Structure 1
Amino acid sequence: MLESSFSPQFNEQPASGKVQSERHLLFTKELAASYWRVYGCILSIVPDRNDADDVMQEVGILLWQKFDQFELGTSFTKWACTIAFHTSRSFARKKRQHTGVALSDETLRKLAVAHSGVSELLELRRMHLASCVSQLADKDRKFLLTCESRHGSVADMARDAKVPAHRLYKKLNRLRQNIADCIRRSLGGGDEI
């Protein structure tokens, strides 16, 4: 993560240590929550992971330096992705000048727009997923979350409960289908989720 050696330049009077600490905590929380979406935005323009890592590091520094420009109550992810897009585009432009091989600015813009649309759709689906899962009975929700966790082996659960594994697999599939139907209804009844 970012070191606190970067000193943000706020437009306000020097803040007390507590306010600075709260801003730093808020920044860290927001960056951690949106890190992979911002990194995905960078990868859509800078496909080489080593280059993308370098760009992400630069973006993290820029986000911290410009954090006073972020409007509380708006989407940090969208703001961060905008900065990531411009930083990535600048990197790609320099790389194109150096190597002679890169995508045009227009293609990069179209990629960023497509990535943004997909990200928004996925975020909307995540919100509906959380809502649909919360509507399950406690017992079903715990079962589903255990199965979906990395440590939730249906075979082990069946053995512990002394029931046939196929019965638990059927239950899991039924719950997944119920969740998919709930998300589909929440999104307006489309055929695909």
Structure 2
Amino acid sequence: MLMSETDRNARFVREFACHEVAIRAYVRRLVPSRSDCDDILQEVAMVLWEKFDEFDQAGDFRSWAFGFARYKVLSWLRDHGRRRLVLDSDVVAMIADESLEEDSLLEQQRHAFRSCFKKLPGNQQMLMANAYRQDMKIQEVAATSGRSTAGFYQWLYRMRQMLLECVQRQLASEANP
């Protein structure tokens, strides 16, 4: 069944927005500068947009996008090969393969973390989230928790340890069903 143009546009924007950070990180690991990464990412986005009708809607958008990103990076390397900071294509291919594996592991870890984080009571979730907000001072978060700053740091340490252990248990249980 063909999608309407509006549905197609909305679906693409949703998929791309959801995975843009991962695609950018993947490309950034393969090229020497952020500006090069930005240029390549624009080209990748254009190709993904043009080819979106060929994307299997039941498939994995991230993997599909990584494939295009890899070829755009290799093309960029071929065109900019005379620069001193550019890696050999074989090295980039090796890094790209390892990045795909690493991205998969990181996604599993993120999923496990979200699952463990959701198990915390709402007030603890809020305190932890506020502790990592750029616009919040740790002293303010500590005061809202009813703890001293030192006490809040200790609580935060214990919470991070508890989350780490939860993530490790969840990953171990998924590896050994």
Q: TM-score, normalised by structure 2?
A: 0.87
Match of 2:70 in 1: 85
Q: C-alpha offsets along residues 101-144 of structure 1, whole Å, 9 cap, x if unaligned?
A: 74333222101001111111111110000000011122222221
- 2:67 is aligned with what amino acid? T
Corresponding pairs, count: 173
Q: How far, CA to CA, are the matches of 1:27 and 1:49 in structure 2?
A: 24
SS in structure 2 at match of 1:82: helix
- Residue 22 (structure 1) aligned with residue 24 (structure 2): no
Identity, % of aligned positions: 25
Q: Once structures 1 and 2 are overlaid, which stretch shifts more, 106-115 or 161-170?
A: 161-170
Amino acid at match of 1:81: F
With over 3 angstroms needed to count, the CA separation of the structure-2 counterparts of 1:54 and 1:163, relative to structure 1, is: closer
Taking structure 1 as reference, are residues 42 and 161 closer, same or farther at Cα in structure 2, changes over 3 Å only?
closer
Residues 68 and 166 (structure 1 numbering): CA distance in 2 closer, same or farther, change over 3 Å? Answer: same
Tell me the distance in 1 between the aligned counterparts of 2:83 and 2:62: 31
1:139 is aligned to 123
Residue ranges of structure 1 left out of the alignment (5+ in a row): 1-11
What is the alpha-carbon distance in structure 2 between the residues aligned to residue 105 and residue 62 of structure 1?
21
The equivalent position to 1:45 in structure 2, one of 30, 38, 50, is 30
Q: 2:53 matched to 1:73? A: no
Cα deviations by residue, 1:73-118 (Å, 9 ceiling, x for unpaired): 221111101001011101101222x558743332221010011111
CA RMSD of aligned residues (A): 2.1
Alignment partner for residue 63 of structure 1, among 48, 51, 75? Answer: 48
Cα pair 1:158 1:164 within 8 Å, conserved: yes
**Matched AA of 1:43:** R
Deviation at 1:159, TM superposition (A): 3.5
Amino acid across the alignment from 2:13: T
Whether the aligned pair in 1 keeps the contact of 2:32 and 2:85 (CA below 8 Å) is: no
Distance verdict in 2 for CA 1:45–1:159, change over 3 Å: closer
Match of 2:103 in 1: 119
Partner of 2:139: 155
**Corresponding residue for residue 169 of structure 2:** 185
The alpha-carbon distance between structure 1 residues 167 and 84, as it changes in their structure 2 partners (threshold 3 A), is same
Segment of structure 1 superposing worse, 56-65 or 36-45: 36-45
Q: Is the 8 A contact 1:45 1:92 kept in 2?
A: no
The corresponding residue for 1:31 is 16
Q: Which segments of 5 or more consecutive residues in structure 2 lack a partner in the other structure?
A: none
Output the CA distance in 1 between the equivalents of 2:153 and 2:39. Answer: 44
Q: Rg larger in 1 or in 2?
A: 1
